[in-house]
Amino acid sequence: MKNQNAKTFFLIVVFCGAILGFSGCQTLQRDIIASVADEETHAKLLELEELIVRLDNAPASRQNTAQARQQVTALRGSVVNSAIDGILTAWSGQLSLMEGRASDARRDLQRSQSVSPHNVPAQVLSFRLERDLPERLAMIDRSIAIERSSGELFVERGRALFEMNRFSESVAAFDTAFVLLVAKPFYEDVYRAQRDNAWELRSLEQTVARRTMDIVLQPEITWRDLIEITQSETDLLRFMTAGRNFSSDTLFAQLLDRGFIPRTQDATLTEWPGTRPAPTDVVLRAGAAWLLWHLNAENRANRDLLTRYSTRFATMTNPRSPILDLDIHSPFVDSILGCVEFGFMFLPDGRNFMPHERVAGADFLAMLRRL
Amino acid sequence: MDNNQALPKKKKSLVPKIIIIILCVIIALPILMVGLSFIGRVAPDSVFPEEFYLYVSVPDTMRLVKNVVRHEALPDIMALSELAPLISVFNQIRNSGVTENRLVRMLAGQRLKAAILPEERMLAVWDTGILSPLLRVLPTVAKRLNVPGLSYVQERGRSRFEFRLDDGGVFFIGNHRNLLVFSNSLAVFESVVNDATRSGGAGPGTFHSRNYDIALLLSPHALLNILESGETDPQMLSALSLLEFSGKVEVSLSVMPNQLNLNLLAPLGTGNDDLRRIIERNSRVAPLLSIVPWDAQYMTLLAAGNLQELLDGVSAISHGTPAGVELETTMRRANSAARMTLRMSLDELLFSWTGSQFAVYGLEGRPHPVFAVEIADEAKRREVFDRAFRTVFLSENIRLNLDGNRIPRIQVPGFLNALLSLLGADIPSPFYAVHNNYLLISESAESLLAAINAIRRNEVLPRQELWRTLSQDRTGPSSIILFYSLDRSLPFFLRGNNEMTAILRLYRQGLVRVSLENSVLNLTLSIIPGVGGGIVPVPGYPIDLTSPGRGTPGNRLLAVSPGRNPRLLVTRGRDVLSINPLDRSIRELRDFGSPHATLYTIPKTLRHPAAGEVWVVDSFGHVNLVNRDMESAHGFPISTGIRLSAAPEAWGEKLFLSSEDGSVYTVDNRATVSLWKSFSSALRSPPSFLNFNNRTFVGIYPKDIIFGEIFILDGTGNPLPNWPIHAPGIAFGSPLLFSARYPGTQARFFAAFITQAGVLTVYTEAAEKLPGFPLELDGVFFLQPVFDGENLWIIESEGTLYHITLNGEVFSQKVPRLSVREEGYIMVSDNELFFTGAGNALHGYSLHFNSLYGFPLPVWGRPVIGDIFGSREREVAGVGMDNRLYMWQFRQERRR
């Protein structure tokens, strides 16, 4: 009996061992079939990169990042390549950062750097995790010193410099990036607007006030805005302020009373209306020309400039306006012709002044600089 | 009668004889001279003593000069070093072609020997060869020359020249038979010229190297002094202290147009047993080299001994240094850990099966390197691996099947890895493969597979063209091979921060081989600048032009006297910067003119180009005339009171200033201000000028929106007949003046003008419009056209580039990412077109609308394009929106 029990026990052990052994073999048989990253993989990576880069312009939400996450996961399982694994992990970290999960992003960054040191997406993630702007810029410049041909790093440089109000340098970085990233045009699609903003702001000092920046970036400005940047960026109103800070509305009233601001911006009218404009009225090109020309005359202490062209027309037989959409009898004729002749303003299509078009903040700043 | 007839015959026979005699003398004299030069010749090295610090030998001085001047990387080397001012000298030598002249090479291509002797004495000797008879007339010639500091001395029946330096030093110069002798020591000098006093002896010895351009023999003491000075690695110092140089060290250099070969021979000895084992082993050809893939971009190969011997050698060198202590500790810990975890000592784990060849290399496009180890005993290796994998600390994962190849991986088991990562430890898990009798290891399975496939296809490094160029198809026995490309790796000997490493880093690719034979170390270094042409950054650039509180640099760059002591000019706030492009030094003119004024700089043309004078003007009419070092000329600066309505311009010797009241004034170099001409409206752009057929033409556009007119004037300001004419619309800029061969005619004067609305007209001198004009082009135009010698080019505000023939044909192409406003710029240089717009990009196009390779470049505004250095290469310089000055050079394609 004892022998029988021992035998049975032995058989059970052997049988279990065989099962385990068989299972072990099965485990061994579960190979990872993989391939070297091929063209198809690289195409998918590019598609994923575009998706993630475009998310920079989209509001951060899990819904937006969900599709990108799915693609990251799918790609991870199919390719054995530590370089690609590192990139995918870094992108996963960027998605986490977009979702507001910085600690997950840091974890992904560490993992990405361990499997594929110095991969560019990991570097980008490390920059974005760094909150101190000067330190971030230093990190970027150290990377660029090694990877001079990486447009992605120059994009980050452009972004960092923009946040530091170093707008000229930001333009330089973005323009370099777009040339390097000509094979990935989606970068320019996404970051062109920021680059153009940097261009508009390029003449502003690094210490420029946020309010001024906001005005300059507006596609249209009011009289209040116009007076504000004229006062902050130039000395053209010093004759009225004696160097003191006046509120924009106070200056508006004074400028209106002294005729520096026209009572109407309708260049087709030949008589002033009875209504008064308001500081919140949107500035049109005709109104900007009027103010600039009057400031120019004041600046040169030459009030003859205010009738420079109308007096000449008065002496001519059959005078014709050199600008197609400007009547020689318009009260704006001297201002508009003067601004164009002196180069403060241009003819947008080479022939018409377009007096009723709205003035963007950046355009008005450029006009002020030419004065 | 007969006598009269006989007399003329006598006269006839004398003249030819005299001519023949003269010819014989003329022919015989040089032959005699050459013959004399062979009598009593002395070998240059026979006059040198055996004791010296440094001995230099140049077998052929003209060949050395020629090879150096023709060396392609020379301008880059000069740009980095204090030799920058000599660039123009080398360019003159190269341009003169003197090194190609056979006669010069024959006469001057003799041997030069020099030495630095103890007590700071030096001796140099030049073998004048067949010119030696001329040495006798040297005193007579030298007396007639008036060289400051040079005097002729006759003493005790011997004569010599003495050249006195400003610091009191004296050089003694004289001849001894065929040798021209220089020395800073009278005793040394006399020992050479006086046969009787020379001690005699074997001299410095012979060189083992062949076919070199210059070679040095260094005494061991001198070599040690050189190596121990400066930033020498502590480990190197330790190695030197253990080694003995049993003889003189020989260094030879061969200079080729696009390669440098350096060879070092040093007889070694040592009292350290570990190092002796390595030194006394003669190098062999390393078979491992034949399994390195040919797309390896860098490689280090060691075949100097087995692993134990190498570690013992390293330990001996590091002994006593901090690194040595660390190494010993690490080795002890590794041994203990191996025993504890793998039940094997390091000796068994590593040393029992490895051979004597080791390598690490990186493949193109792959970040992870591959390690290769020779397997001396495969059975032992398998046994060691099996035993290691049977422990709980290591396992082998063979699940990966990559493109049909099973690639095993050494890894720490999952549970242990998780534990280690909690502790912050990251243990690498490399893949490995055994191929023939080599173990290949890499963190990347893909890299490993790529390496193996390359070996299978016999695509190996010795067949690579770059390798063959660097090794000159001679890969003999070597103990150490280092093959590098600076795009991927920086070898340890290039990590320093001194002139030598900076120069060596100009050579992008190199091969170092070290071999040992009979205890003589032979080190060869072959380096090339790297292939490829196109546009390459000039070393040392970009330069940061910012200075705290001084404003930002302008974007209009100008050049003064390019190629002849050049300067680049740019404004920065109220400052003017004059930059020497060779040594990158900057001189400043600070705080010029009125605050808030616009500052301009214009080079003064050009009767005295060497003077390099520059006009500096601000928009309130303050004028200065400065030299290239920003020093004001006599009588300047002045305040003219003119309020500028346009940028100033310079022509002839004068500066032209356009005033708001429509007047144009001139200022000359005597600071005289004169009214040149008045117009009814102010100029908003400076006049344009042209010299053609010995006449001066001036183009002016006073910008009047109602009555705009275009003037073409002569040099005195008088309008040409039929001028002015009515401008067809408002425009920017002044008319373009040019000369061209209109079809069927000789070269004539023309003027082109385009309005803002795109109406383009080309006028003759008589103000007639060319047939086919005016043209109406689409778009808005902020810039006037440029002329390439045959056709006009114009850039439109939204980036359309127009090409217009003088027949009125129009071709156009849109340039991506370009918009052009008033800050734009366009120019033609060397049959290529360059333009900038509203952004940080300088575009370059061929005249066939093809974008030039390497463009756009990251600068804006007005660049300088031309031969700035005088090196017959063309450079591009410009200021970027990041406030830096950039410079590139157009290079001819380099081929291997």
Give yes or no: residues B508 and B406 share one domain.
yes
Across residues B349-353, what is the average pLDDT?
A: 85
DSSP per position, B241-280: HHEEE-S-EEEEEEEETTEEEEEEEEEEEES-HHHHHHHT
- Burial category of B663 from C-beta neighbours within 10 Å (exposed 0-12, middle 13-18, buried 19 and up): middle
Answer with the residue of higher pLDDT: B529 or A347.
Answer: A347
Q: Which CATH number among 1.10.287.1080, 1.25.40.10, 1.20.1250.20, 2.40.10.480 corresponds to the domain A43-200? A: 1.25.40.10
Across residues B159-170, what is the average pLDDT?
A: 83
| Report for A16-30, A232-246, B208-222, B754-768: range of highest mean pLDDT | B754-768
* Secondary structure class of B320 (helix, strand, coil): coil
A21-35, B85-99, B174-188: which has the minimum mean pLDDT? A21-35
Give yes or no: residues B586 and B653 share one domain.
yes
Which amino acid, B258? N
B221-225, B425-429, B598-602, B781-785: which has the minimum mean pLDDT? B425-429
Tell me how far CA of residue B353 lies from CA of B334, B555, B792, in angstroms: 18, 66, 76
- Domain total of chain B: 4
Across residues A209-223, what is the average pLDDT?
A: 92
Which of A168, A322, A350 is facing B758, going by the closest CB pair?
A350
Please list, residue by residue across B255-264, b when 16 or more beta carbons sit within 10 angstroms of its beta carbon and e when fewer do.
Answer: beebbbbbbb
Give yes or no: residues B268 and B345 share one domain.
yes
Reading phi first (left if > 0) and then psi (alpha if -120 to 50, else beta), residue B564 is in beta
Give dist(CA B117, CA B647) in Å, integer: 63
Q: Which residues of B touch A351 (CB under 8 A)?
A: 729, 757
Domain boundaries, chain A: 43-200, 210-370
A40-49, B114-123, B311-320, B430-439: which has the minimum mean pLDDT? B311-320
Instruction: Choose, out of B364, B406, B446, the residue to mutate when testing the contact with A (most A CBs < 10 Å).
Output: B446
Structure-block tokens of residue A127? 């920059």
User: How many residues can be counted in chain A?
Assistant: 371
Q: Which residues of B touch A349 (CB under 8 A)?
A: 757, 780
Answer with the residue of higher pLDDT: B570 or B328.
Answer: B570
Binned at pLDDT 50, 70 and 90, residue A29 comes out as: very low
Chains A and B form CB pairs within 8 A to the count of: 120
Model confidence over B254-280: pLDDT tens digits? 998 888 899 999 888 888 888 888 888
Does the structure show a pLDDT above 60 at A30?
no
- Neighbouring residues of B551: CB distance < 8 A, sequence distance ≥ 6: B572, B573, B574, B575
Chain B contact present for A178, CB below 8 A: yes
Model confidence over B476-517: pLDDT tens digits? 788 899 988 766 566 666 665 566 776 777 787 889 999 998
Give yes or no: residues B451 and B581 share one domain.
no
Does the structure show a pLDDT above 60 at A25?
no
Does the structure show a pLDDT above 80 at A292?
yes
Q: Do B443 and A340 touch (CB under 8 A)?
A: no
Give yes or no: residues B626 and B657 share one domain.
yes
Give yes or no: residues B266 and B340 share one domain.
yes
The pLDDT value given to residue B143:
65
Contact assessment for residue B181 and residue B169, using Cβ atoms and an 8 Å cutoff: no
Largest CA distance in chain A: 139
Across residues B587-601, what is the average pLDDT?
A: 90
Structure-block tokens of residue A112? 């990405």
Model confidence over B372-390: pLDDT tens digits? 999 998 898 988 888 888 8
Instruction: State the first-to-last Cα distance of chain B, in angstroms, to the nearest integer.
Output: 84
Contact assessment for residue A52 and residue A91, using Cβ atoms and an 8 Å cutoff: yes
- Neighbouring residues of B755: CB distance < 8 A, sequence distance ≥ 6: A350, B727, B728, B729, B730, B731, B781
Nearest to A335, CA basis, from A294, A367, A304: A294
The pLDDT value given to residue A1:
46
In a domain? residue B73: yes
Q: Do A322 and B729 touch (CB under 8 A)?
A: yes
Nearest Cα residue in chain A from B857 = A176
Q: Do B840 and A175 touch (CB under 8 A)?
A: yes
Give yes or no: residues B508 and B362 share one domain.
yes
Helix (H) or strand (E) holding B551: none
Give yes or no: residues B353 and B377 share one domain.
yes
Q: Do B817 and A178 touch (CB under 8 A)?
A: yes
Q: Do B840 and A340 touch (CB under 8 A)?
A: no
Across residues B760-787, what is the average pLDDT?
A: 96
Binned at pLDDT 50, 70 and 90, residue A31 comes out as: low
Which of A82, A172, A235 is facing B444, going by the closest CB pair?
A82
Across residues B626-646, what is the average pLDDT?
A: 92
A2-16, B5-19, B229-243: which has the minimum mean pLDDT? A2-16
Backbone torsions φ then ψ of A120, nearest 5 degrees: -65, -45
Give yes or no: residues B24 and B81 share one domain.
no
The pLDDT value given to residue B233:
64
Model confidence over A143-175: pLDDT tens digits? 887 777 889 999 999 999 999 999 999 999 999
Answer with the residue of higher pLDDT: B491 or A88.
Answer: A88
Contact assessment for residue B452 and residue B440, using Cβ atoms and an 8 Å cutoff: yes
Does the structure show a pLDDT above 50 at B789?
yes
Q: Domain range for residue B210?
A: 44-215
B27-41, B171-185, B511-525, B713-727: which has the minimum mean pLDDT? B27-41
Backbone torsions φ then ψ of B224, nearest 5 degrees: -65, -40
DSSP per position, B705-769: SSS-EEEEEETTSPBPTT--EE-SS--SS--EEEEEE-TTS-EEEEEEEE-TT-EEEEEETTSPB
Alpha carbons within 13 angstroms on the beta-carbon side of residue A184 total 23
Contact assessment for residue B647 and residue B619, using Cβ atoms and an 8 Å cutoff: no
Give yes or no: residues B501 and B577 share one domain.
no
Nearest to A246, CA basis, from A259, A230, A268, A262: A230
Q: Do A322 and B880 touch (CB under 8 A)?
A: no
Give yes or no: residues B20 and B54 share one domain.
no
- Neighbouring residues of B280: CB distance < 8 A, sequence distance ≥ 6: B516, B519
Which of A32, A322, A343 is facing B399, going by the closest CB pair?
A32
Instruction: State the first-to-last Cα distance of chain A, in angstroms, to the nearest integer.
Output: 116
Give dist(CA B708, CA B724) in Å, integer: 10
What ipTM did this prediction achieve?
0.86
Q: Which residues of A touch B400 (CB under 8 A)?
A: 31-32, 34, 80
The pLDDT value given to residue B495:
62
Q: Do B401 and A349 touch (CB under 8 A)?
A: no
A127-131, B423-427, B475-479: which has the minimum mean pLDDT? B423-427
Across residues B393-420, what is the average pLDDT?
A: 75
Q: What is the pTM of this model?
A: 0.71
Model confidence over B827-843: pLDDT tens digits? 999 999 999 999 999 99
Q: What percent of chain B has pLDDT over 90?
A: 33
In a domain? residue B560: yes
CA distance B262 to chain A (A): 29
Q: Which residues of A touch B362 (CB under 8 A)?
A: none
- Burial category of A274 from C-beta neighbours within 10 Å (exposed 0-12, middle 13-18, buried 19 and up): exposed
The pLDDT value given to residue A158:
97
In a domain? residue B816: no
- Neighbouring residues of A312: CB distance < 8 A, sequence distance ≥ 6: A319, B706
Answer with the residue of higher pLDDT: A171 or B334.
Answer: A171
Does the structure show a pLDDT above 50 at A7?
no
Tell me how far CA of residue B344 lies from CA of B306, B331, B417, B430, B838, in angstroms: 19, 14, 21, 20, 70
Does the structure show a pLDDT above 70 at B892?
no
Q: Which residues of A touch B883 (CB under 8 A)?
A: 168-169
Structure-block tokens of residue B695? 């006449």
Give dist(CA B343, CA A45) in Å, integer: 45
Q: Which residues of A touch B454 (CB under 8 A)?
A: none
The pLDDT value given to residue B800:
96
Q: Do B446 and A36 touch (CB under 8 A)?
A: yes
Query: Taking all residues of chain B, what is their mean pLDDT, rounded to a whole number?
Result: 84
Model confidence over A189-211: pLDDT tens digits? 999 999 999 999 998 888 888 88
The pLDDT value given to residue B758:
96
The pLDDT value given to residue B142:
65
In a domain? residue B359: yes
Answer with the residue of higher pLDDT: B42 or B75.
Answer: B42
The pLDDT value given to residue B202:
55
Give dist(CA B530, CA A124) in Å, integer: 31
Q: What is the CATH number of the domain that holds B634?
A: 2.40.128.630
Sign of CA pseudo-dihedral B386, B391, B395, B398? positive
Q: Do A172 and B817 touch (CB under 8 A)?
A: no
In a domain? residue B210: yes
In a domain? residue B666: yes
Answer with the residue of higher pLDDT: A311 or B101.
Answer: A311
Give yes or no: residues B82 and B185 share one domain.
yes
Chain B contact present for A322, CB below 8 A: yes
Nearest Cα residue in chain B from A118 = B367
Which of B403, B780, B838 is facing A199, going by the closest CB pair?
B838
Tell me how far CA of residue B775 lies from CA of B753, B758, B762, B771, B805, in angstroms: 11, 8, 9, 10, 11
Nearest to B644, CA basis, from B669, B664, B670, B625: B664
